[in-house]
Structure 1
Amino acid sequence: MTMSRVFLSDLNTRKCSSSDEYVTLSLFDCQAISFHKKLESMRDDPKVVVDTNINPKMIGGTLLFYVV
Protein backbone atom coordinates (compact mmCIF):
# COMPACT_ATOMS: atom_id res chain seq x y z
CA MET A 1 0.00 0.00 0.00
CA THR A 2 1.36 3.41 -0.95
CA MET A 3 1.37 6.12 1.70
CA SER A 4 0.66 9.62 0.43
CA ARG A 5 1.83 12.58 2.46
CA VAL A 6 0.19 15.95 2.76
CA PHE A 7 2.31 18.77 4.14
CA LEU A 8 0.36 21.49 5.87
CA SER A 9 1.45 24.85 7.15
CA ASP A 10 -0.06 27.60 9.25
CA LEU A 11 -1.91 25.35 11.66
CA ASN A 12 -3.55 26.76 14.77
CA THR A 13 -3.94 24.48 17.80
CA ARG A 14 -6.19 24.83 20.81
CA LYS A 15 -5.98 22.72 23.95
CA CYS A 16 -9.55 21.82 24.94
CA SER A 17 -8.86 19.43 27.80
CA SER A 18 -5.96 17.53 29.26
CA SER A 19 -6.26 14.75 26.65
CA ASP A 20 -7.62 16.52 23.53
CA GLU A 21 -5.76 18.55 20.90
CA TYR A 22 -7.73 20.37 18.22
CA VAL A 23 -6.16 21.69 15.06
CA THR A 24 -7.76 24.35 12.88
CA LEU A 25 -6.77 24.12 9.22
CA SER A 26 -7.85 26.65 6.61
CA LEU A 27 -7.80 25.51 2.98
CA PHE A 28 -9.41 27.26 0.05
CA ASP A 29 -10.51 26.36 -3.48
CA CYS A 30 -8.42 23.64 -5.13
CA GLN A 31 -6.39 23.00 -1.94
CA ALA A 32 -9.56 22.07 -0.05
CA ILE A 33 -10.78 19.82 -2.85
CA SER A 34 -7.41 18.09 -3.16
CA PHE A 35 -7.13 17.54 0.61
CA HIS A 36 -10.70 16.19 0.78
CA LYS A 37 -10.03 13.72 -2.07
CA LYS A 38 -6.84 12.48 -0.40
CA LEU A 39 -8.71 11.82 2.85
CA GLU A 40 -11.56 10.07 1.02
CA SER A 41 -9.07 7.78 -0.74
CA MET A 42 -7.61 6.50 2.55
CA ARG A 43 -8.80 3.04 3.53
CA ASP A 44 -8.13 3.49 7.26
CA ASP A 45 -8.86 6.32 9.66
CA PRO A 46 -6.58 9.27 8.93
CA LYS A 47 -3.64 9.78 11.26
CA VAL A 48 -1.97 13.09 11.92
CA VAL A 49 1.77 13.49 12.36
CA VAL A 50 2.68 16.48 14.46
CA ASP A 51 6.12 17.48 13.25
CA THR A 52 8.05 19.47 15.80
CA ASN A 53 11.72 19.84 16.45
CA ILE A 54 11.17 18.76 20.07
CA ASN A 55 9.13 15.54 20.10
CA PRO A 56 7.31 14.33 16.93
CA LYS A 57 4.27 12.16 17.72
CA MET A 58 1.64 10.15 15.85
CA ILE A 59 -1.85 11.12 16.97
CA GLY A 60 -5.01 9.16 16.19
CA GLY A 61 -8.49 10.56 16.58
CA THR A 62 -11.61 11.78 14.91
CA LEU A 63 -11.28 14.06 11.93
CA LEU A 64 -14.23 16.42 11.43
CA PHE A 65 -14.94 18.65 8.46
CA TYR A 66 -17.12 21.70 8.16
CA VAL A 67 -17.71 22.55 4.51
CA VAL A 68 -19.29 25.87 3.60
Structure 2
Amino acid sequence: MPNPDRSIHLLFGPPKPTDAPGANWIQVIEGRDFLVALRLYGAELAFYDQSWKPDDIVRLG
Protein backbone atom coordinates (compact mmCIF):
# COMPACT_ATOMS: atom_id res chain seq x y z
CA MET A 1 0.00 0.00 0.00
CA PRO A 2 1.61 3.30 -1.06
CA ASN A 3 2.23 6.21 1.27
CA PRO A 4 0.85 9.67 0.39
CA ASP A 5 4.18 10.56 -1.29
CA ARG A 6 3.90 7.39 -3.44
CA SER A 7 6.75 5.66 -1.57
CA ILE A 8 6.18 2.14 -0.24
CA HIS A 9 7.36 0.82 3.11
CA LEU A 10 7.99 -2.93 3.23
CA LEU A 11 8.13 -4.60 6.62
CA PHE A 12 10.04 -7.85 7.22
CA GLY A 13 9.53 -9.88 10.38
CA PRO A 14 8.16 -13.08 11.91
CA PRO A 15 5.07 -11.41 13.44
CA LYS A 16 3.05 -8.91 11.43
CA PRO A 17 3.00 -5.48 13.12
CA THR A 18 -0.55 -4.67 14.18
CA ASP A 19 -0.66 -1.36 12.29
CA ALA A 20 0.96 -2.66 9.08
CA PRO A 21 -1.11 -3.39 5.97
CA GLY A 22 -0.87 -7.06 5.06
CA ALA A 23 0.31 -6.14 1.57
CA ASN A 24 3.38 -4.38 2.99
CA TRP A 25 4.50 -7.20 5.32
CA ILE A 26 6.86 -10.00 4.29
CA GLN A 27 7.11 -12.84 6.79
CA VAL A 28 10.59 -14.17 7.67
CA ILE A 29 11.64 -17.04 9.91
CA GLU A 30 12.67 -15.86 13.38
CA GLY A 31 16.36 -16.37 14.15
CA ARG A 32 17.39 -16.89 10.52
CA ASP A 33 19.19 -14.43 8.26
CA PHE A 34 17.60 -13.41 4.97
CA LEU A 35 18.73 -11.68 1.81
CA VAL A 36 16.80 -8.87 0.16
CA ALA A 37 17.12 -8.55 -3.61
CA LEU A 38 15.44 -5.82 -5.64
CA ARG A 39 14.35 -6.49 -9.19
CA LEU A 40 12.84 -3.67 -11.22
CA TYR A 41 10.90 -4.08 -14.43
CA GLY A 42 10.47 -1.15 -16.78
CA ALA A 43 12.73 1.05 -14.69
CA GLU A 44 12.94 4.71 -15.64
CA LEU A 45 16.07 6.57 -16.76
CA ALA A 46 16.77 7.73 -13.17
CA PHE A 47 17.61 4.13 -12.26
CA TYR A 48 20.05 3.71 -15.12
CA ASP A 49 21.81 7.07 -14.71
CA GLN A 50 21.91 6.39 -10.94
CA SER A 51 20.18 9.62 -9.94
CA TRP A 52 17.69 7.36 -8.07
CA LYS A 53 18.81 4.67 -5.64
CA PRO A 54 16.69 2.64 -3.24
CA ASP A 55 17.04 3.48 0.46
CA ASP A 56 18.88 1.19 2.82
CA ILE A 57 16.96 -1.34 4.88
CA VAL A 58 16.52 -0.04 8.44
CA ARG A 59 15.93 -2.17 11.52
CA LEU A 60 12.94 -0.90 13.52
CA GLY A 61 13.35 -2.49 16.88
Superposition TM-score, scaled by structure 1 size: 0.26
Instruction: Report the structure number with the largest CA radius of gyration.
Output: 2
More strand by share: 1
More helix by share: 1
Higher relative contact order, chain-length normalized (CA < 8 Å, sep 6+)? 2
